Structures are given as C-alpha cells and as structure tokens.
C-alpha cells in the first residue's frame, strides 16, 4: 500500500518529535542537579559538594599574596581555582550580588613547570593541595556567610571561627558581599553595571584600576 505523501510527512513529524522528546527528557534527567545547596553533618561540619567541578568557573589566581613581605617567601608556587554553584551564578547575573545558599569553592593546586612538552610557564598539578569554601547561609550564620576548611575535596569541612582573618579580609576588601569579585572577570562588569560594589572596595580602588 502506498501512503499519500502528506500523511507520511505527518507520521515522520510525529515520530520525530517523540524521539526528540524522549532524548530531551533523558538529557534533562542526566543533568538533574546534583547537590548544589549547602548541606551539613549533625556536628555542624559541611558536607563536601561532590560536583563542584561541574560548577561555574570564575577564575584562577597564581601565587597571589596580600602582604608585601609574603612575596616570594614560601618558595611554593600555587594556582587557586574558584568555582560557584550554577544557581548562585544565575542569581548574580540577575542581581549583581549573591543569593542565599551561595557556595563558593577555592581549590589550590601546585604550579608545575617541568612536564611533558612544557618549556616555559606553569601548569596545574593533579593533586588538590588546598580546599576551602565560602558559603552564604543567612539563617545559619550570624554574619550570613561562613568559611569552611577541608582536608580534601571529599571529606567533611570544619567551620572556621568568626574571629579568623578570613572574615576580616573578605569583609574589608571583597568587592561584592564579602567575595573577591574584583578578581572574577566575568562578574566584575555585572557588579559595576548593577551598582553592587562595596563602599570599601570603591574607596580603595583608583578609577580605571584593573584595565
Ligand atoms: C588578606 C586577605 C585574605 C584573607 C586573610 C583570606 N582571603 Fe580568601 N580570598 C582573598 C582573595 C584576594 C581571593 C580571590 C582569589 C582569586 O582571585 O583567585 C579570595 C578568595 C577566596 C575564596 C573564593 C570565594 C570568594 O569569597 O571570593 C574562598 C573560598 C576563600 N578565599 C577562603 C578563604 C579562607 C577559608 C580564608 C581563611 C583561612 C581566607 N580566604 C582568607 C583574600 C583573602
């Protein structure tokens, strides 16, 4: 039996959209968000965010130091990579600041220069040397934000007490809501456009800096 051309086309369209529908459904279920919101153990430790390597990449600093005398003292060269959970990132794009439940990760790795075909410059070694989290959880922490220190990216993290210098440096120098947005090139223009830069950062930054 011969099908009229039109009904064959219609049948193809129906089958086709069904296949696409199933495919999209599968993509969606594969992407179903793994743990993004902060979660804690009964003793107050923070659970490690297992999929942070699939989060939004903000920047890598290399050998950043914040006091003149610290320069070149340690002899160890390190990259730090900063990631933020995708929902917080979307919130920042919309508002220029961080929503409640934001989780930011700082991951430190040795900077190596000898390896494979490399002749100059640095690349990142495979082991994670340092792992810290800055989390905004307004109902849980008196100052809204807290820092956690982790021995490794897959172990629970310990809360760093409020009197630690993490809090004062981030409060006094972070460009947006105690985070170092001045070093995250995709976010700084948004904060400028939305007018969310902290007064302290604006005061200590000469006009045109960072260009
Ligand atoms: C003297 C200033 C200073 C101190 C003290 C400090 N930080 Fe930071 N922190 C920075 C800077 C600058 C960055 C941006 C790093 C980059 O651009 O790679 C940063 C970034 C971070 C980030 C990425 C998210 C964000 O807030 O921007 C985390 C997490 C973090 N620091 C944790 C800590 C912890 C934990 C401590 C205390 C043990 C600490 N910091 C102490 C200056 C400081």
Give the pLDDT confidence of 121-157 residue by residue, as tens digits: 999 999 999 999 999 999 999 999 999 999 999 999 9
Distance 170 CA to ligand 1 centre (A): 7
Please state, in angstroms and rounded to a whole number, the distance separating the CA atoms of residues 124 and 19: 42
Segment 174-196 mean pLDDT: 98
Distance of CA 82 to the CA centre of its chain: 5
Please state, in angstroms and rounded to a whole number, the distance separating the CA atoms of residues 178 and 89: 15
pLDDT of residue 29: 44
**Atom number, ligand 1, closest to the C-alpha of residue 61:** 18
Residue 55 has pLDDT above 60, yes or no: yes
Please state, in angstroms and rounded to a whole number, the distance separating the CA atoms of residues 100 and 144: 8
| Whole-angstrom Cα Rg for the chain | 23
Distance 42 CA to ligand 1 centre (A): 26
pLDDT of residue 12: 45
Residue nearest to atom 32 of ligand 1 (CA): 132
Pocket of ligand 1 (CB under 6 A): 59, 61, 64, 66, 80, 82, 104, 106, 132-134, 147, 149, 160, 164-166, 169-170, 179-180, 183
Please state, in angstroms and rounded to a whole number, the distance separating the CA atoms of residues 185 and 211: 11
Residue 30 has pLDDT above 90, yes or no: no
pLDDT of residue 73: 53
8 Å CB contact between 60 and 82: yes
Token output for 159: 């809360």
Please state, in angstroms and rounded to a whole number, the distance separating the CA atoms of residues 167 and 192: 23
Residue nearest to atom 16 of ligand 1 (CA): 61
Please state, in angstroms and rounded to a whole number, the distance separating the CA atoms of residues 108 and 150: 11
């Amino acid at each position: 039996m011969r099908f009229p051309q039109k009904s064959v086309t219609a049948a193809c369209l129906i089958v086709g959209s069904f296949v696409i529908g199933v495919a999209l459904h599968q993509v969606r279920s594969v992407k179903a968000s793994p743990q993004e919101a902060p979660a804690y153990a009964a003793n107050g430790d923070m659970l490690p965010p297992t999929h942070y390597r699939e989060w939004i990449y903000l920047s890598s600093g290399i050998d950043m130091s914040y006091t003149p005398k610290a320069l070149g003292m340690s002899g160890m060269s390190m990259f730090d990579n900063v990631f933020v959970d995708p929902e917080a990132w979307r919130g920042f794009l919309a508002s220029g600041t961080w929503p409640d439940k934001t989780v930011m990760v700082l991951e430190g790795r040795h900077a190596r220069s000898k390896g494979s075909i490399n002749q100059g410059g640095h690349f990142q070694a495979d082991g994670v040397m340092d792992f810290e989290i800055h989390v905004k959880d307004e109902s849980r922490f008196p100052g809204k934000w807290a820092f956690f220190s982790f021995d490794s990216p897959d172990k629970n993290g310990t809360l760093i007490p409020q009197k630690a210098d993490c809090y004062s440096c981030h409060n006094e120098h972070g460009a947006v809501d105690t985070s170092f947005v001045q070093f995250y090139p995709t976010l700084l223009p948004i904060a400028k456009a939305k007018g969310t830069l902290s007064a302290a950062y604006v005061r200590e930054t000469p006009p045109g800096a960072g260009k």
